[in-house]
Amino acid sequence: MIVCVCRRVSDREIARHARAGMSFDEVQMELGVATQCGQCEGCAREVHAQCCGSHPVAALHHEGMPVRLAPAITENRAWPDSRSAAA
């Protein structure tokens, strides 16, 4: 999924850099995420945090681990919440 529309940076790119041990500031410098309009910064930081250390990865990987979306993604008003849509 594209996290940063301005720079066309995906959650997988952020996750890959975070798992490589890069800090968010380093990822930001490398990819340009959250450097233009800034609307993606919260989501980008959450994806990064999920992929650092003991946190689960944000994207499905080859071993079939479940996807864990950032709260900013699941609480976004841009699309209906699947829980409320099912009701």
Q: Per the domain annotation, does 23 fall within a domain?
A: yes
Domain count, the chain: 1
Q: Per the domain annotation, does 82 fall within a domain?
A: no
Mean pLDDT, residues 60-78 taken together: 51
Q: Per the domain annotation, does 30 fall within a domain?
A: yes
Q: Per the domain annotation, does 83 fall within a domain?
A: no
Q: Per the domain annotation, does 28 fall within a domain?
A: yes
Span 11-44, pLDDT tens digits: 999 999 999 999 999 999 999 999 999 999 999 9
Angle at 16 between CA 12 and CA 19, to 5 degrees: 135
pTM: 0.61
HSE on the CB side for 24, CA within 13 Å?
16
Q: Per the domain annotation, does 53 fall within a domain?
A: yes
Give the domain CATH number at 26.
1.10.10.1100
d(CA 55, CA 81): 24
d(CA 68, CA 60): 8
Express as a percent the part of the chain with pLDDT over 90: 57
Six token digits for residue 60: 């499905």
Q: Can you give the residue range of the structural domain that contains 70?
A: 2-76
pLDDT band for position 52 (cuts 50, 70, 90)? confident
